[in-house]
Amino acid sequence: MEHKSTFRIPKILRIYAYYKIKWILSEYYSKINKVDHKSISMNTYTKYLMINTKKQRELINITEMVEDAVEEARIKEGICLVNAMHITSSVFINDNEPGLEEDFMVWLEALAPEDPNYKHHRTGESNADAHLKRTIMGREVVVAITDSKLDFGPWEQIFYGEFDGQRDKRILIKIIGE
């Protein structure tokens, strides 16, 4: 027959040890997770661009305008949102190559052709295809800012796509960072 030696910690010591360990861990985690809110300097910058295209449908490279806004914002690290502020225009990122721009326009026309039979036209409007093209191409882009510059991949540029133009439209540039 085997003899087991058991040592039983008194209940009061077990409770004390439990709460002591809990307190030590909470102190430890509060120190490593502590954020000094005074040291965080989050800044924002807002700029609006006004665009009035020469053509009804047009793609415009707006990369330099956005880079100018990043420079004006004096943000070293952060993000830059570029948003088309109209429901028939778009902002997207792609390569700045004229053949590709033509391909986009042909492709979009195939997907959402100009057609008088859209149900939207019952409202008196005649731009349903522009709404569809905007939905396909997207509303906005977000680009990282690293060392005060837009942090693009190779060949990336920011484009404004206008699908019902020849009137004033706004683009919002919102930059957030430190």
What is the per-residue pLDDT for 20? 73
Residue 52 lies in a domain: yes
Residue 21 lies in a domain: no
Residue 15 lies in a domain: no
Residue 173 lies in a domain: yes
- Measured from the Cβ of residue 145, the count of other Cβ atoms closer than 10 Å reads 20
Note the pLDDT tens digit of each residue in 123-159. Answer: 999 999 999 999 999 999 999 999 999 999 999 999 9
Sign (positive or negative) of CA dihedral 62, 64, 68, 70: positive
Taking the model in full, what pTM does it have? 0.78
Owning domain of residue 148: 43-177
Nearest CA among 154, 153, 150 for reference residue 63? 150
- Quote the tokens at residue 122: 């019952």
What CA–CA distance (Å, rounded) separates 139 from 118? 22
- CATH code of 122's domain: 2.60.120.460
Number of domains in the chain: 1
- Quote the tokens at residue 160: 């404004």
Checking if the pLDDT of 1 tops 70, the result is no
Spell out where the chain has E strands: 43-51, 58-61, 78-84, 89-95, 140-146, 149-150, 156-162, 169-177
Mean pLDDT of 98-114: 96
Q: Which residues contact 156 (CB under 8 A, 6 or more apart)?
A: 93, 94, 95
Nearest CA among 142, 58, 170 for reference residue 108? 58
Residue 132 lies in a domain: yes
Nearest CA among 105, 43, 115, 111 for reference residue 73? 43
Q: pLDDT category, 15, cuts 50, 70, 90?
A: confident
Residue 164 is classified by DSSP as S
Residue 34 lies in a domain: no
Residue 78 lies in a domain: yes
Residue 1 lies in a domain: no
